[in-house]
C-alpha cells in the first residue's frame, strides 16, 4: 500500500477515497455516504501519514 497520494472526492451522494498515482483514476479504495465526510477526510489524512489533529487545525 502506498504511503501517500490519497485524496477524497465527492461523487454524487458519496465520498470516495482514491490514489490515482498508485492505483489509477478508476480505482476507489473506500467510500462513505455524503454525511460521513469527516470520517472520509480523517481516514485520508491518516493514510497520507498525517494526524487527525492536523486535519482539524487546517479547518480552524
Q: What is the pLDDT along the chain (60 residues), one digit of tens a residue?
A: 788 999 999 999 999 999 999 999 999 999 999 999 999 999 999 999 998 888 888 877
CB-CB neighbours of 44 under 10 Å: 20
Per-residue pLDDT at 54 = 86
Residues in the chain: 60
pTM: 0.86
The continuous run of DSSP H or E covering 29 comes out as strand 28-33
Contact of 36 with 15, CB cutoff 8 Å: yes
3-state secondary structure (DSSP) of residue 8: strand
Amino acid at each position: 500500500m502506498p504511503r501517500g497520494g490519497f485524496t477524497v472526492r465527492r461523487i454524487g451522494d458519496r465520498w470516495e477515497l482514491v490514489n490515482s498515482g498508485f492505483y489509477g483514476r478508476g480505482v476507489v479504495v473506500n467510500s462513505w455516504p455524503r454525511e460521513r465526510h469527516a470520517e472520509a477526510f480523517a481516514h485520508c489524512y491518516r493514510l497520507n501519514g498525517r494526524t487527525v489533529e492536523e486535519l482539524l487545525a487546517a479547518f480552524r
